[in-house]
Amino acid sequence: MATIRIDLEYPRFPVERKIFGHFTEHAFGNIYGGMYDPESKLADEDGLRTDVLELMRRVRVPLLRYPGGNFVSNYHWENGVGPKESRPRVFEYAWLTEESNQFGTVEFIKLCRKVGAEPLICVNMGSGTPEEAMHWVEYCNGTGDTYYANLRRSHGYEEPFGVKYWGLGNEMYGNWQMQNLTAEEYARYAFQFAKAIRWADPTVKLIACGLQDSTDWNTACMKLIGPMCDYISAHHYSIGWGPFEKGDYLGCLYIPELMERMHQMTLASITVGMNDVTNHCKVAWDEWNMFGWVFDGVNDDESYTLQDSIVTALVLHRLLNNSDTVGMANYSTFVNINGAVSVHGDQVVTRAQYPVFELLANHTGDEVLDVRMTGPKLSVPYRKTGDMGRKPLGLSLTSAEAGAPDTVEVPALDVLATRGTDGTIYLSIVNKSPDEDITADISLPGLDLAGKTVTAKVITAEDINAANTLAHPDRVAIADADAPAVTARGLAATFGRHSVNLITIS
C-alpha cells in the first residue's frame, strides 16, 4: 500500500514545456530517409514525410535541435542554402560519410513550422568561426539591408525566421569532435562566438556547451561566459554510451537517479562559476536517451521495449519536477537509430517510448504540484559514469573515497502532479516494480471531487520485453483504464506492475 498526497494550495512552479523537445542530426537516417525523403510517395512538396510530420504533431514537439550533434563541428551552413542543384556534396567528418546538403537551414525551418516547434540551431565551433556563426544568425533573423539578410530574401524568404535559440558548439570537450578544447579554451572561444551572435541579434538565447560529469568544466565555462548565456547543456545516454546494461531492468531504474545527480552537479557549477545563487542560467538537457547510437541491435525495433517506456517516463518525470532549473530537453533522436519512431520504406513504427511522449505531452498541465508519498521501495544497483568524482588518493582510510554503496533504495512508485489553467489535474504515476501491483490512497486536500470527471489511461504489457514492430505495432500503446474509486480522502487506485499510468481529474 502506498499513500500519495497532492498539495493543491501552493503550486511549486510553472511547467517548462520545452522539456518535451526532440533532436535531429545529419546522421544514420535521422534526416535523409527519416524526416526528409523526396522520393517517398508520402513526401510533401518540400520532401518532408507527412507520416513523420503527423507523428511529431501528435507529441506536440515544442523545440527541435539541429543540425547536431557531432555533425555540426564541421558543418558550413552556406553549403546548405540556395538552389539545391548548386549545393556541394562534401565529405562529412563526424560520421565519415558524404553529405549532399539537400537538407539545410530553410528545410529545417519549414519542418519546424509544419509541426509547431521552435528551432534550436547549434553553431560550428570546430572548423567554424565567430564570423560564420554571426552570418548564420543574420541569414535567419536579419531585418536590415545587409548581405546575408538579402541572401535569405534572394532565396525567396522576405520575412526573417526568428530563430531564438542558438547553441555554442557541441560536446567540445570530446576528442571525437573536430577541434576539441579544454574548458578554458572553450570558454574563451565561446565568448567570441557569443559576442558575435549577440551583435547580430541581441534578443537570442544562448546555450553553452556543458559537461554533465564535470563540475570543473562547467565552473570554468560559467566563470567567463555565464553572463552571456541563458543555458548550459548536459547530455546523457545510458546504454551503449553509458554505464547501464540493456537487459538489467532493476539497474536501469537508477538512470533518472544518476541524471538527477548530474543535474545537481551542473546547478552547483553554475552557482560557483557565476558566484551568485540568483543567476538566470538553466540546464539544457539537449541530448538524452536511454540508448546511445552505438550498441548491438540499435536499429532493431525489438530493442525498444516496455522497459524503455518505463525509463523514458521516469526521466520525463524527473525533468518536469525540476522545471524551475531545467530550461529545455531534447530527446535524441526522434527518427531512426535509437529514436521514438523508425521508418521502414513507406511504413513507420512507433517504438515503445513514443506513447510515453504522446501521453505526457498531451496530459501535463501548466504548473507543477507538490507531492508527498510513502510506500514500498525497490533495491537497485548504484551507478555512476566513469568521469564523475575525483581520483582516489590510494590511502586505506575511512572516507568518502572508500566506495559507493552497491545498491540504493528507490520508491517503487514515481509521481508527477500538474494542474492546467482550466483547473484540470493530471497525475502521472509509474509503477517501477517488475512483479508487484501497488494500491495507492491518493489524497487531494481541499478538492471536492463531487461533479468532477475522473478518467485513467495506462501504458503496459504482460511482458517487460514487449516491443512494437511492423508485425505487432501496438504491443506497447496507450489504453483506457478503469477510473480510480472516489473515497472520503480522495482516490484509491491500483497500478499494475511495470506500468505508466495517467489519471485526469477535470
Residue partners of 154: CB distance under 8 A and separation at least 6: none
By residue count, the chain amounts to 506
Cell numbers describing residue 257:
537517479
Query: d(Cα 499, Cα 357) in Å, to the nearest integer?
Result: 14
Alpha helices of 79-214 — where are they, by DSSP H?
105-115, 130-141, 147-154, 183-200
287 counts as catalytic = yes
**Residue 27: all three cell numbers together:** 546522421
245 is catalytic: no
Helix (H, G, I), strand (E, B), or coil: what is residue 309?
A: helix
Q: Which is the catalytic residue, given 171, 185, 260, 409?
A: 171
Cell of 130: 565567430
Concatenating the DSSP letter of every residue in 259-302 gives HHHHHHHHHHHHHHHHT-TT---EEEEEEEEEE-S-STTTT-GG
Residue in the block written with cell 500500500 = 1
Nearest to 443 by CA among 20, 2, 134: 2
At 134, list the grid cell. Answer: 554571426
**C-alpha to C-alpha distance for 95 and 186, rounded to whole angstroms:** 23
Q: Are 399 and 457 in contact (CB under 8 A)?
A: no
The Cα angle at residue 225 between residues 224 and 227, in degrees rounded to 5: 105
Per DSSP, the three-state class of 250 is helix
Task: List the catalytic residue out of 185, 287, 367, 409.
Answer: 287
Distances (CA, A) of 435 to 50, 73, 432: 40, 46, 9
User: Exposed/middle/buried for 198, CB within 10 Å: 0-12, 13-18, 19+?
Assistant: middle
Catalytic residues, which ones? Answer: 171, 287
